Amino acid sequence: MAGVNLARSGVGIHLGRRRVLTVADLDQDDADELAGAVPSQRQRKIIHVDMDAFYASVEQRDNPELWGRPVAVGGSRERGVVAAASYEARKFGVRSAMPSVTARRQCPGLVFVKPRFEVYKAISQQIREIFAEHTLVIEPLSLDEAYLYVTENLQGISLARDIALAIRARIKTETGLNASAGISYNKFLAKLASDHRKPNGQYVISPETGPAFVEALPVGKFHGIGPATAARFHALGIQTGLDIRGRTLTFLEAHFGKAGAYYYWISRGIDERPVRANRIRKSVGAENTFSQDLTEFDAMAAELQPLIDKVWRHCETTGNRGRTVTLKVKFADFEIMSRSRSVPTAVGGREDLERLAVGLLQAAMPLPKAVRLLGVSLSSLRSDLEDQGKQIALLI
């Protein structure tokens, strides 16, 4: 997509979304857009809305006994994992994806609540209906956050910050929940801005303040740079956005591959990706943590079956097909291993998905340690319409 003006409209390209801008999660379309982006002359208005501790806040709202208490949504059993943590729990270092045992050790008074995803989905739909009163160009990232393109908006409000204020007030009135918002001229900065004033606040990063904001930002605070990548930057003597900006595109691509182009542009406050309404997810996956660690191939292969069923049901429901199957293995010591295989044509049926997933497991045997969790995902998704209805069974 090099050479395309990616800011030509808010709708732009109707493709798909994974977890936005974690570099490991950049899909091919995002990476190509970032690598080929040419700064546009038109100033866009983009809002990133992020609900504050969404799952935990819903539980506190619905149960007054939880008000002001440290709450974790997730399994409290020995092998459970925290899905979300209230701000009271976060003060103790409790965070999402943390093992429940660790969370309870860090916060002895932690209250565990079972997730109610149907409730969260219903509230999320309420919130999206509020968004739709202001713009039709909405890019949901998950149940609790979304990008809104408001350069033109349905209420005729001239200032994006006033739109954000109106949306946040309406969410509070309708749901009793708090939302934070970031307002800027691109998606990267809007996301940074919403993080900057959490919880229950909003922040504007303008074209005048954007470059200085990014220059002062530690590399570990960049959306898309995790601890491992931050360590690689530090090893190269790069600590801040200003340091990244001082490196050439050639240097960054030599050390970070395609992601180097992403770092090059965002260090300059440039992100020309459009807000993409109705994006098709680029991957779908399922995983399960076991009550006891597994060591035998047959037991692990059996545990893969319901995960494969879940992934394929999603494909059947959405009409999407993918070409890359990934097996995720988490060992008893929480080390993670993944193995992937891509095929020339989309996986044509549940049997093909099973053959690939189990084949990846078999090829990895014998595993060096006992297994705590297994996951299966299918990526490089395309709709049946994109593939012109072709369902070609794999001959492997």
The pTM of the full predicted model, rounded to 2 decimals, is 0.71
pLDDT digits 0-9 by tens, 99-148:
899 999 999 999 999 999 999 999 999 999 999 999 999 999 889 999 99
Residue with structure tokens 């090099």? 2
pLDDT band (50, 70, 90) for residue 42: low
What span, in angstroms and rounded, lies between the C-alpha atoms of 61 and 381?
Answer: 37
50 marked as binding residue = yes
Does 78 score more than 90 pLDDT?
no
What class has domain 283-383? Answer: alpha beta
Does 18 score more than 70 pLDDT?
no
Q: Give mean pLDDT, residues 290-295.
A: 91
What is the structure's pLDDT at 227? 86
Does 325 score more than 80 pLDDT?
yes
Q: Which amino acid is at 157?
A: I
Joined together, the tokens standing for residue 115 give: 């997730």
pLDDT digits 0-9 by tens, 257-289:
989 999 999 999 999 999 998 666 678 889 988
Q: Give mean pLDDT, residues 180-184.
A: 98
Q: Which parts of the chain fold into alpha helices (H)?
A: 28-36, 54-62, 87-90, 100-106, 117-132, 160-175, 187-196, 210-215, 227-235, 241-245, 249-256, 259-266, 297-318, 350-364
Q: Which amino acid is at 221?
A: K
144 marked as binding residue = yes
The catalytic site residues sit at 145
Per DSSP, what are the bridge partners of residue 113?
73
Q: How far is CA 348 from the centre of its chain?
A: 27
Element (H, E) at 182: strand 179-184
